[in-house]
Amino acid sequence: MIEIHAKTSAANTGSASDRLHTLGLALPDLRGNPYYVHHRTVDSSIYISGQLPYQDGRLLGQGIVGRDVELETARELARHAALNALAAAVQAVGELDRVRIVQMLVFVASTPDFGEQSNVANAASDLLIEVLGENGRHARTAIGVAGLPLNSPVEIQMVCTAV
């Protein structure tokens, strides 16, 4: 609990873009897809398509968490997927400081006995709070699944709104 408060306090200084830069991160360019869009806006809600942990056009990991992929690796992959989802949200609203996360769904390809999907999801939640502060707090579901596209260990879907 103390760790979250420390991140929230740090997240209350400067702009979201400044905080992202301070973390050594940048929003990626998302590649287009002929089958779906990265976001769809309906009224004030922005629906973000499921994002995989891509970086520079390359999937950063494959396999099943608890068998092929260690917990810490899965957490890092979740952060990358969340960063990609933030990039989609910025495409929709124009700038990072206007993004508020409403809900995040974290899918973790994991063994039936893994049971730490929430721990994987916490890494993505931490990133959102570090970057967006209170606008990064969200409702969340972490789900263990048998498999994900391209054998990715993690996929993140979000609902956002503009502020």
The per-residue pLDDT for range 8-58, each reduced to its tens digit, is: 444 457 899 999 999 999 999 998 889 999 999 999 999 999 999 999 999
List pLDDT tens digits, range 71-104: 999 999 999 999 999 999 999 999 999 999 999 9
Range 2-162 classified under CATH 3.30.1330.40:
yes
Averaged confidence pLDDT in the chain: 92
Confidence (pLDDT) at 9:
44
Per-domain boundaries in the chain? 2-162
Of 9, 163, 25, the C-alpha closest to 99 is 163
Q: Is the pTM of this model over 0.75?
A: yes
Cα dihedral sign, 77-79-85-91: negative
Confidence (pLDDT) at 3:
36
